Amino acid sequence: MSNLWLEAVLRLLLSVALGAVVGFQREWVGKVAGLRTHMLIALGASLFTVTSILGFAGADISRVAAGVVAGVGFIGAGVIFRGDRGVAGLTTAASIWITAAVGMAAGAGLYLVAVVAAFVAMGILMINKGHDREEKK
């Protein structure tokens, strides 16, 4: 297997690991979009990115990025609910959005950027963890 293919696999695996970092927190506070969802979103975004870079040489890969952003927006919208107590799910939608961005960064080979973004997102999500736990009771 060539170094190019090994690096592509590394990018995919890194995106899954970083998706797990963000998804762990959502799982921990009992959100429906948890660990597996975030891992799959990061993997999908990374795979679209790797495929566009390696599979379509000479094509405009920024179009794939735009498509991923739009597609993830639909997934994020699905976790936002309006009820008697107001709007719920905005933070989970945002975590899905950032997870896709982390996956795209890993897929593009921006390893340090992807790692830093995932851990910053996890830190941000941990800021209000007490509030999240109270909501689910």
List the domain boundaries for the chain. Answer: 3-135
The Cα 93–Cα 16 span in angstroms is 18
The Cα 104–Cα 117 span in angstroms is 11
- Tally Cβ neighbours within 10 Å of residue 22: 26
Rg from Cα positions in the chain? 16
The pLDDT score that the predictor gives to residue 76 is 84
The pLDDT score that the predictor gives to residue 1 is 64
Residue among 34, 23, 44 at smallest CA distance from 107:
44
The pLDDT score that the predictor gives to residue 103 is 97
The Cα 42–Cα 106 span in angstroms is 9
- 88 - beta bridge partners? 81
The pLDDT score that the predictor gives to residue 79 is 84
Which token pair is 20? 């797990």
Distances (CA, A) of 111 to 7, 98, 129: 11, 15, 27
The Cα 1–Cα 22 span in angstroms is 31
Residues of the chain with pLDDT under 50: 133-137
Give the pLDDT confidence of 92-112 residue by residue, as tens digits.
999 999 999 999 999 999 999
